[in-house]
Structures are given as C-alpha cells and as structure tokens.
Chain A
Amino acid sequence: MFEGLKKKIEEMRAHRPSPEAVKNAIAEGQIWKSIFRHGYPDTPRNRIMAVLSNVFLHLHPVKARHSGVKMSYTWCMGGLSFFLFLNLTVTGVLLMFYYRPTAEYAYYDIVALREAVPLGIMRELHRWGAHAMVITVWLHMFRVFMTGSYKPPREFNWVIGVVLLVLTLLLSFTGYLLPWDQLAMWAITVGTNMARATPFLGYEGPGASMLQVGGVKLVTGGSDIHFALLGGHFVSEATLLRFYVLHCVFIPLVAATLMAVHFWRVRKDGGISGPL
C-alpha cells in the first residue's frame, strides 16, 4: 500500500546529506563567511582569530593567565561590576518606559512601577543592583590594590578605574533623586550643598571671593557650579530633569566608553592581573 512512499523514503535516505556536508555548506556560504572571517576555532591561529575579529571579544585578552581565572585571586569583582552595569542598563531602560521626570508625576510613577506594572520587582532590581555595583566596584579596587595590580605598566588603567569609580558614585547619586520623595529631596539638598564650597567654582568656596573686580562678584549664587548642577538656587523640578538626563544618558555614555578603554588596557597591559 505504501510501497511507493517507502521507496521514496529509501531513496531520500540514500541521498541524504551527511551532517558534515550540511555544516560545510553553511560554513562556506556567503552569509556565514561575511560574518565570520576565520575557520573553526580548532587551531591556535583560528582561536586567536575568533577573538581578534570580534568587536566585543577583541577587548579581552587573547590568552588569560592561570592566576587571571582563579576566583581566589581576582574575586571576579571587575566582571561582576560589569555584569551589574549591564543589568542596570537593561532594567534602567525598562524603567524609562514608565517613569516621567516631572515634579507632578515622578513619585507616583515610582509607586506605579511597584503596584500597577507587571514585574513590580523591576525597580528593586535596579536599586539593589546599583547598591551591589557600588560594593563590587569598591571591592574590585581593594583587590587590585592588594594584588599590586596598579603597578607599572598598569598605572594608567588604575587612573581610568578611579574615574570609573567616581562615575559609579555619581550614577548612584543622580539616581537617588529620581524617586522624588522626602529622602531623595533632602539627601540631594545636603549632597549638592557641598558644591557651593567648591574652590573658585562654588560661591561659598575658597577663592571665590577673590574672583571679583571693582566689587562685582564673578561667582555668585546664580553663576556658580551649584547653580549649574541644580538648574536653580535649590532642588526643584529643574534639578530633577537635570539629574534624570545625567543619570540616564550622559554618565552611562561616558562610563561605557571608559569601560571599553579599561578592558582594552587590561589586555594591552599584560592580561588580567598577576605578575608580569
């Protein structure tokens, strides 16, 4: 009854291409070759090419030291910091779909993110991830210090790392205002009041009173760094918007750029930590 069909199946089985042939057909097709410029990573050369010809992987060392993959040595704190940064970027972008940085809506949007939006844990992920990132960044710095990994030729990467630490703290600080509750308002009031005491740039800072000619002060409450930071004389809606833009766009862009440099330098300065 199914003779014809059976015969056809037999025929197809006899002529079926081997898995090897399918693999080769794909790997030698134009699509594959346009993306991957090297063969299977089965030789040392191809393994190196796999890393070098990938924009993300090429920031990494081609080879890692044995000590570089020892958890007891690195604590994996740099990797964890980066993981948390990625996590914060994803959750942060998701939060941006609901959050409006205005005095009228900001607080209620934060409440709604917890009460009315599915996956109300999203904001908590962002918040706890931020706390965790500050901790891992500090621990990373501590580890790098304890293993002496700041020594030549890694001095410059230490400096970039310090800038990244400051950017992490600034991200934390700017994000602090966004819930727009009493804690946020007064914490930012207290924190930004320090800017008034910046040397020369803050109107209560040392040297600011020297910047005057004929009795006209150059640095006043309306022209100092504190004013530029807040967009006014005190924490207001203008401040909320400024901090929102700094938090969501400016500082992450700068941080991501410096991170790329940081990782690249790890590779160029002799791989992950360890003696040279």
Chain B
Amino acid sequence: MTSSRGGQYGSSFLLALALAFPAAAEAADWAGTASFSSAIITLGIAGFGLLALYVAYLTVRFLIGAWKESKAAQKEAAAHAAPVEKKDGKALLGAALGLGSLYAVMAMGILFIVSLFVLQGIGLSFTESLSQVLIAAGFAGFALLFLYIIYLLAAMLWNAVRPAKAAPAASEVAPAAAGLPAPTVTRRSFLSLLGWAWVAFTAASLGALSTVLRFFFPNVTFEPPLKFKAGFPDTYAFSATGMVDERYKDSHRCWIIRNTEGFYVLSTICTHLGCTPNWLLADQKFKCPCHGSGFYITGINFEGPAPRPLPRYNIILSDDGQLQIDEGIQYQYELGQWGLPGSFLDYKG
C-alpha cells in the first residue's frame, strides 16, 4: 500500500517551468519525483493560466482603446463643436467595463498570492501550495462558468414568463421610428465570439481529457510494500552452497538465499519476459516454465533465452536484529553491482 503521489503536482509544475527555462532546471533542487501524467495536468493548468493572462491583456488593450477613442471623440467634438455624447458615453461604458475587469483580475491575483502565503503558513511547501492554488483557481473558474450559465438560464426563463409589459409602450412608438433594435451582436462580433467559444471548448476538452488520462494512474496501489522485514536471520537454514528460502516468493517476489558467508536476495522475475522460475533443488537451478531459461543459485543465467542474470535486492540487518529487504534498490551483475554493500549481507551464524 505504497507509492503515494503526494507533492507530484508541485514538482511537475516546476518541471513544466523548467521546460521553459533550462537554467532553472539546473538551479532547482529536484527532491520530489514527478510522473508524466501529472506533468500533463500541470501543463494543462498552466495553459489555463496563460489563457487568463491573455484575457487580462485583451482587457487592458480594450481599456486603452476605449480611452483613446474617448479622447478622439472629445477632440472631434472640440473641432466641430458638435455634441458627440453618444459615442463618448459608449467609450465611458467600455472604460467602466474594462476597469471592472481589470480590478477583478487584480483582485484574483491578490487572492492568489494571499492563498499562496496562507497555504505555506499551514506547512505546505511552496510548490505544493502553488499547485493547490492553481487547482483551486481552475475549480473556481468552472464554478463561475456554472453560475453564469445558471444566470443565463434564469434570465431566459424570466424573459419567457414575465408579463408583456413592454407591449403597450411599443405601440405608442411610431412604427417607422421603432424599426429594428440596434444589433448588439454583429456579424463580426459573432464570429469573434465563436472563435472564443471554440478556444474555450477546446481548452475544456483538453482539460477533461487530461483528467481522464490521470484517472488511469491510481494514487495508491494495493501491492505489497517494496521495503519489508523478513524475520530473524537464524530462522533461515544454510549450507556451503546455499539454501533457497521461498517464504517471500508469493508475496514479495523474491528468494532469500543463505550460505555460510551470509545472505543475498534474488528477484523471482525472469529476465526474459517476466514469468516466475521454479527452484529445482535436485538440479540446483532456477528453471522458468514459460520458455526454459535456467539460472544458477547465484542468479547467473546459463541456458534458455534469458538475456541477463536475475537482479539482486538490497538486504541489511535492521536495528531490531531482523533482516530488512528493500526491493526498490536493485543490483545488476552485468553492471558490476554485486560487489556493492547491500547486495550481500555478511552474516556467519
């Protein structure tokens, strides 16, 4: 019940940053591990962030445009000495909207930074809190969108059911003057809206897809832990050539072998295609039933298709006197690692 992925969002966000800034990768301390899937998600969230930045940029540009427009209108008014209130009013409205959006973005930014500090205050690391805030921002965005849709639906419903109060007012207006209302959505703005809707749809689809991808990588696997205590050394029989103990073969996929010099642990996973060989006592060899690979008691391959010896696992004597095996640490013969400390436990009973 191991392999928790805590903190991987954070480290993978750093990774995403590092992809953009190789120098940062050199400088950063890579303490955590990151998986490909969480990197995808982080990149997706970063994409959302970029989109938000782009919207903010558009807002600012719009604001500046509105301001220039209103200036130009004032100039024009001064030049021709004619009232241009309508245009001016429009620009003012635009300015108000733009200012509002800018303030909203700024408020969100402040909220963002404050939450960052708060989360760090309760003991999360910077990367962890950053990723948490980014995720929360994503959720908040979705919630806002949801609320907006509800508002639209409610407005639609209200328009549909409210009494026709405007009808007599309309009849008072002369038909010629009434005409068609000025279109609030023009052909051009509709196409622009369509473009934005398409971008939003694509972003949402990609977000959903990355979430589905992540779904296939559980945070917890119900597999035995890689590091475990294997009992006291004196419970293992030994001989000069070595005795193979199979008590952890089923549960942890390893053989514990004791000879007069000490202990070593062999993986039971055949190096050919991953079946489990059998220990044949009479023949003094491990024999794989799938394709016939054979290994000596040392783990070295001598027959069949297996391309290399069985790897050994780390074994040490823990403080309480028990054997402790860590399958996360492997020693490969062909890499000259069987002489390393931990690949063999010196123990003369």
Contacts and interface: CB of A to CB of B under 8 A. Distances in A.
A198 B285 CA distance: 32
A236 B33 CA distance: 25
Contact of A219 (B36, B216, B223, B275): B36
Most buried by A among B36, B276, B289: B36
A218 B39 contact: yes
A193 B273 contact: yes
A19 interface: no
Interface of B is mostly: loop
A220 B35 contact: yes
A228 B32 CA distance: 21
Contact of A233 (B39, B223, B290): B223
B250 to A, nearest CB: 12
B121 interface: no
A199 to B, nearest CB: 14
B33 A220 contact: yes
B273 A231 contact: no
Contacts of B34: 216, 218
B36 A224 contact: yes
A217 B11 CA distance: 12
Query: Which bracket fits the contact residues of B?
Result: 20 to 34
Contact of A238 (B28, B33, B39, B221): B221
A236 B224 CA distance: 11
A39 interface: no
Interface in A212-257: 213-220, 222-224, 227-228, 231-234, 236-238
A125 interface: no
Contacts of B221: 222, 231-233, 238
B217 interface: yes
A234 B275 CA distance: 11
Nearest to B275: A186
Contacts of A86: none
A220 B11 CA distance: 15
Nearest to A222: B3
B275 A223 contact: no
A216 B30 contact: yes
A223 B11 contact: no
B36 A218 contact: yes
Contact of B36 (A214, A223, A234): A223
B218 interface: yes
Nearest to A236: B223
A8 B3 CA distance: 89
A121 interface: no
A217 B33 CA distance: 7
Nearest to A193: B274
Most buried by A among B26, B28, B221: B221
B18 interface: yes
B15 A228 contact: no
A190 interface: yes
Contact of A213 (B18, B217, B275): B18
B30 A215 contact: yes
Nearest to B31: A216
Interface in B246-285: 253, 273-276
B145 interface: no
Nearest to A221: B3
A193 to B, nearest CB: 5
B30 A232 contact: no
Interface string B2-20: 0100000001000100110
Given A216-B15, A219-B36, A190 B275 contact: yes
A14 to B, nearest CB: 63
Contacts of A213: 15, 18-19, 25, 30
A227 B26 CA distance: 29
Contacts of A232: 221-223
A211 interface: yes
A189 interface: yes
A205 B289 CA distance: 26
A238 B222 contact: yes
Contact of B273 (A190, A214, A215): A190
Contact of B290 (A186, A218, A231, A234): A186
A223 B37 contact: yes
B195 to A, nearest CB: 31
Interface of B: 3, 11, 15, 18-19, 25-26, 28, 30, 32-39, 216-218, 221-223, 253, 273-276, 289-290
List 5 tightest A-B contacts by C-beta distance, closest first: A223-B35, A190-B273, A228-B216, A214-B25, A218-B36
16 contacts: A186-B275, A190-B275, A193-B274, A211-B36, A216-B11, A216-B34, A217-B33, A219-B36, A228-B216, A231-B221, A232-B221, A232-B223, A233-B221, A233-B223, A237-B222, A238-B221
Given A216-B33, A238-B222, 16 more contacts: A190-B273, A213-B15, A213-B30, A216-B15, A218-B36, A220-B35, A222-B35, A222-B217, A222-B221, A223-B35, A223-B36, A231-B216, A232-B222, A232-B223, A234-B223, A234-B274
